[in-house]
Amino acid sequence: MPDPILFTVDGKQVGAQPGQTILQAAMASGIYIPYLCYFPKMKPYGACRTCVVETEVTVQRGDQKVVQKATVASCTAPAQKDMIVHTNSDPIRDLRKGIIELLMAEHPHGCLTCHRIELCGPQDICQRHVGVTDRCTICPKNERCELKDTVRMVELDLRTPLNYHRRNLPIHTDDPFYDRDYNLCIVCARCVRVCEEVRFDTALTLTNRSGVSLVGTSHGTSLLESGCEFCGACVDVCPVGALVERDYKWEKASRKVKTICTNCPVGCQMVAEVNRYDKVVRSVADIQGDANNGQACFKGKFGYDYPNAKQRLKHPYVREGGVMRRVTWDDALGRAAAALKKYKPEELAVVASPRGTNEDNYVAGKFARVVLKTNNVDSGLNIAPELLDVLRRRLGYGAATNPVWHLERSKCVLVVAGNPTEEQNVLAVPVKKAARAKAAIIVVDTRETELTRYATEWLRVRPGTEALLLSGMARVIIDETLEDKEFVSGRTSDLEPLKHALARVEPSAVAGECGVDEAQLRRAARAFAKSGASAVLLGPDTAGGPAVRSAMADASVNLALLCGSIGKEGAGVFPLYSGANTAGSLDVGCAPALLPGPRPIESHADWAEIGSLWGAGAPTARGVGMPQLAGEIRAGRIKAAIVMGDGLDPDAEGLDGLGQALGRLEFLAVSAVFDSEATARAQVVLPAAPYSEQQGTVTNVERRVQLVRRISAPKNEEKSGWETFGALAGKLGPTGLSYKSAEDVFAEVRKAVPHYAGLSHERLADGGIQSPCLEAGSAGTPILHFQPKALVPPAAPTPQTPAQTGSALAQATVVVQPPAPAQVDGGKKLAFVSDGRLFERPLDVESGQTLLLAHGRVLHQSGREAGVVKRGDMNYISREEVASIHPDDAVRLGIRDGDLVDISGEAGGETVTARVKVGGPPRGVAQMTTLFGTVASAMQDDPRPDPSPYVKGLWPGRVRLTKRPVRVPAVAAAG
């Protein structure tokens, strides 16, 4: 860190980093300067002028020293050496009051001038002192209003000669999730700026100018039409009651608890606001969160409140004669134990919750092995295990190699068959930031997704050819000798076999087979190789199935190794898997082929180690994982199962119709928060504690182990996963699975998982730590395989070998940083993989009557008219749904442009208008996109209390297109 700039604020010496403003430096030193338009982590704006200060700077003029005085906005003025700042002089106080006085004449503030303000209790409704529309007490932001705090802080005299006007604007309450009341808006533009500057959506804008200036959407449309992502960032930054969440709108928080969103693997750090009845009434992204940098998405911001739902399961039930009967835990467990005893180990399966903590998953894995003696155990949404398996095999860890937020420093981001905006929303924010900083964004996807909007190259491949395309890129890089020679020679092995293998794929042939332009393929390869900091986002959404997915992952790692994208800032490989804690569940051995560690199940040495910890041994044959589970049940090979249902969608694509299959089991025990399809088929139903009623750790995509805190005690008889398994194990015999607390479980996890050895619940209380963290003093490993280079700023370096630690820089960083952990796999060279799987050929999608439906999600499509209809009080997007198909398919299927066609597939059907166009999707594909607004309205409308953990409809699936008898001309249909 450079030396601080020293200057004086109100007589106190303050240090500022270069580029810091007076306001930032003062606040960091504990000096409060009131502000309204500034917000941390956003660019200064300088509009509200509440942060004005007086400055004195001494300058040399010839022989004389002259003191220059100025009144400046401290949020925009950079700190200067030896500057003297007065934040609270008389003129400044007067000026500040003068400005806020003007502001208050535009804002309902009756309560602030009321003589009873000190007497007024939170539940009082005054009878006559203040006009109804003018009360702070009826404002949803009462007592968390920054304006009110500021007014009180500056001790504003509110007996003013200024005329107060109420704007009397209608309140916008018809968009999903949040309300907009512009009567309360102070036009600080925080919402506009966060939307444009941080989220890159630009759904909000300043409208009009001068005294009539306000915030709104362009042309006053609904949020649904303006391209809103419903991330709620604007709501979080609003200082007044203009933007508020609709649910629990007027609820007051009596306390705030930091927790982790368990809807997706990004693991956003959130602050849960809890009312005095222990209900979570609000969820606000934690501005200090390392994983999310103060951002969240519609799932984390608005999908947090399912623990409050009335439909919660409160007690254990057993099915008797087709009827569910409430029983005691003891009875329920006894019944389950008795049933489970009847089956052979290979006939049993355990499914852990995708939201399950590491503690739950660890105990689930141990339960399966030690008690049931089976390896049929997996995390519920581990539906594309190939991604993490390949990364673990190739790079030593089944998760992202680099921190998510470092993506903003990437110079090139390659997105393969993934839609992070939809599934891992916050992960896409730094990608978009990189895009704005002119990073190349290369999207390899058949679908149109939100990131294709940012793409410098959109390689619209034929379905299933993603892996081949990536290998083609590798071939171009080798042909043009663009590889990172130093990295390849020093840190990798087995390049020669790869070269031989790649010799088989001519770029022109690859381009032809993938259905892209060869020049574009070459451009993409060059951009990826030359950028200096290239990252790969590796998604699961290929039509090619497990084989292609696995090949895609291998090809991605090959590309990353070729270009030296491992072990440096702004680079890395990021798997876009489903399930909030899937990576953690693998770490702790809740997987069909992994023991805690994770250690391969086939390895006898590893089994010996874990076996001695557990005091038991178990089968070494690979178990059944989630993608195969439904098939095994249907085949009758699995007859009984225990399913942890919190956040599990048995109908998720990739689970192969698990929902139906569960009905075929002879015995099913389900632990869940809500009644669902799974509980309807269960013989024993156990109430599960949701995130707010349990403590435990989860590991996110960037290996950050974070603490989910218990917000309240279970309200009824709910139990955490580890408690449930422990209690059930107790019924099946003495097995060492009874733990006193989650911390107790974690103490054992630490022994079983070397990467977690340095972690504890206590250490995680201040924020997450990135695994591997091998000892208690370690600060974790932000970047895997990191090797400090002279020019790379040492964010958190991990010195690798004695040779490197000998350099001056490495030594310096060792002093600053806590001892760094040894690297994964002990510094072995990273091998290229070159077997035939890399060149998985495309599916045969071009014949027959079915097409592959590529369903994308976009924020907004400018080319097509979207209207808004009102149903009840709510806005819904209404637009002509269109499926684009290739002209050749159109001829084959007898469909013409503008025809109405029925699309029917496994997930149901709908009627759309066909668009036949050149330059659209490749042959064999029907392309559709849904607007984000549609997804938001659907989620708000969903009758299920917890619809958010899995987003359906993104995987390509087979559909049949049938032409409707009546042909509607395209123009008429659009009108």
Residues of the shown chain interacting with another protein in the complex, contacts defined by CB under 8 A: 44-50, 52, 71, 73, 76-78, 91, 95, 98-99, 102-103, 105-106, 161-163, 165, 167, 169, 182, 186-187, 189, 205-206, 208-214
Q: Distance of alpha carbon 770 from its chain centroid, rounded?
A: 16
Q: What is the DSSP letter of 100?
A: H
User: Which residues fall within 8 angstroms of residue 473, CB to CB, at 6 or more apart?
Assistant: 521, 524, 525, 528, 559
Element (H, E) at 6: strand 5-9
Q: How far is the CB of 152 from another protein (least distance, A)?
A: 18
Nearer to another protein, 18 or 733 (CB): 18
User: Which residues fall within 8 angstroms of residue 770, CB to CB, at 6 or more apart?
Assistant: 403, 702, 703, 704, 705, 780, 781, 782
Q: Distance of alpha carbon 435 from its chain centroid, rounded?
A: 18
User: Which residues fall within 8 angstroms of residue 567, CB to CB, at 6 or more apart?
Assistant: 401, 491, 783, 784, 785, 786, 787
User: Which residues fall within 8 angstroms of residue 484, CB to CB, at 6 or more apart?
Assistant: 529, 562, 563, 564
Q: How far is the CB of 75 from another protein (least distance, A)?
A: 8
Q: How far is the CB of 505 from another protein (least distance, A)?
A: 40
Cβ contact 932:822 at 8 Å: no
Q: How far is the CB of 207 from another protein (least distance, A)?
A: 8
Rounded CA-CA distance 202/204 in Å is 5
Instruction: Show the tokens assigned to 464.
Output: 């299933």
Q: How far is the CB of 108 from another protein (least distance, A)?
A: 14
Nearer to another protein, 44 or 307 (CB): 44
Q: Distance of alpha carbon 114 from its chain centroid, rounded?
A: 45
Q: How far is the CB of 855 from another protein (least distance, A)?
A: 34
Q: How far is the CB of 96 from another protein (least distance, A)?
A: 8
Nearer to another protein, 188 or 291 (CB): 188
Rounded CA-CA distance 95/101 in Å is 10
Q: Distance of alpha carbon 361 from its chain centroid, rounded?
A: 21
Instruction: Show the tokens assigned to 231.
Output: 């991330």
Q: How far is the CB of 209 from another protein (least distance, A)?
A: 4
Nearer to another protein, 170 or 863 (CB): 170
Shortest CA distance to 889 belongs to which of 913, 910, 856, 917? Answer: 917
**At CA 117, angle to CA 111 and CA 123, rounded to 5?**
85
Nearer to another protein, 11 or 161 (CB): 161
Rounded CA-CA distance 51/594 in Å is 57
Instruction: Show the tokens assigned to 319.
Output: 């099915």
User: Which residues fall within 8 angstroms of residue 2, CB to CB, at 6 or more apart?
Assistant: 17, 18
**Helix, strand or coil, per DSSP, at residue 922:** coil
Nearer to another protein, 182 or 329 (CB): 182
Nearer to another protein, 215 or 630 (CB): 215
Q: How far is the CB of 235 from another protein (least distance, A)?
A: 20
- What is the CB neighbour count within 10 angstroms for residue 383? 25
Nearer to another protein, 105 or 138 (CB): 105
Residues recorded for the chain: 975
Rounded CA-CA distance 643/651 in Å is 14
Q: How far is the CB of 53 from another protein (least distance, A)?
A: 11
Q: How far is the CB of 121 from another protein (least distance, A)?
A: 33
Rounded CA-CA distance 343/339 in Å is 8
Nearer to another protein, 104 or 901 (CB): 104
CA atoms within a 13 Å half-sphere pointing along the CA-CB vector of 215: 26
Q: How far is the CB of 41 from another protein (least distance, A)?
A: 18
Q: How far is the CB of 417 from another protein (least distance, A)?
A: 34
Q: How far is the CB of 40 from another protein (least distance, A)?
A: 17
Rounded CA-CA distance 176/191 in Å is 17
Cβ contact 69:83 at 8 Å: no
Nearer to another protein, 93 or 864 (CB): 93
Nearer to another protein, 84 or 95 (CB): 95
Nearer to another protein, 243 or 783 (CB): 243
Cβ contact 105:162 at 8 Å: yes
Task: Look at the block and give the residue holding tokens 């990353």.
Answer: 560
H-helix segments, 194-285: 233-237
Q: How far is the CB of 197 from another protein (least distance, A)?
A: 12
**What are the φ/ψ torsions at residue 852 (nearest 5 degrees)?**
-95, 125
Q: How far is the CB of 186 from another protein (least distance, A)?
A: 8
Nearer to another protein, 102 or 747 (CB): 102
Q: How far is the CB of 44 from another protein (least distance, A)?
A: 7
Q: How far is the CB of 99 from another protein (least distance, A)?
A: 5
Rounded CA-CA distance 350/645 in Å is 11
Nearer to another protein, 208 or 612 (CB): 208
Nearer to another protein, 209 or 740 (CB): 209
Assign 3-state DSSP to the chain and report helix, strand, coil percentages, each to 5: 30, 20, 50
**At CA 326, angle to CA 322 and CA 328, rounded to 5?**
130
Nearer to another protein, 211 or 802 (CB): 211
User: Which residues fall within 8 angstroms of residue 63, CB to CB, at 6 or more apart?
Assistant: none
List 858's β-bridge partners, or say none.
Answer: 931
- Output the CA–CA distances (angstroms, integers) from residue 859 to 76, 445, 650, 779, in the order listed: 33, 17, 28, 38
Cβ contact 693:353 at 8 Å: no
List 771's β-bridge partners, or say none.
Answer: none
Nearer to another protein, 21 or 565 (CB): 21
Nearer to another protein, 167 or 504 (CB): 167
